[in-house]
A = this chain, B = another copy of it.
Amino acid sequence: MKLTTFSDYTLRVLMFLAVERGRLATIPEIAAAYGISENHLMKVVHQLVRGGLVESVRGKGGGIRLACAPETIRLGAVVRASEGAAPIVECLSGEPGACCIAPVCRLTAVLVKAFEALYSTLDDYTLADLVAQPQSLQAILIRQT
């Protein structure tokens, strides 16, 4: 059970943009800072723009930036969106024949409750909490680019 790479990268992009507020950042720059693929990041940024957390400025000197204050971005909401509709267990995939006991299984309700607790805990934190002392984070990220 682990965070998907998509969620992991989503959070990393948001953290980068939070420590680099006040200027436009670029995907190649963020990819270089973390040493990860630009292609992966493009999909992540696309979803963040679509979800309204990030805004994109086109043209020469363009780039991306946070569309709202880090204090307003709850981590549970971010991860819920980046994890999307993927089932938390195979039998919830809705595919016929996935698990024969699905119609009477009590486990799925317990799992849904447990994942709710996970997201609810994440919602206790905002993006601002992750970058409360941005200097050390900034020093590492900018060193890499």
Contacts and interface: CB of A to CB of B under 8 A. Distances in A.
Contact of A34 (B15, B99, B120, B140): B99
A137 B101 CA distance: 7
Oligomeric state, in number of copies?
2
Interface residues of A, number: 53
B107 A15 contact: yes
A99 B12 contact: yes
Main secondary structure on A side of the interface with B:
helix
A39 interface: no
Contacts of A100: 33-35, 140-141, 144
A95 interface: no
Contacts of A122: 110-111, 114
A92 to B, nearest CB: 9
Nearest to A141: B101
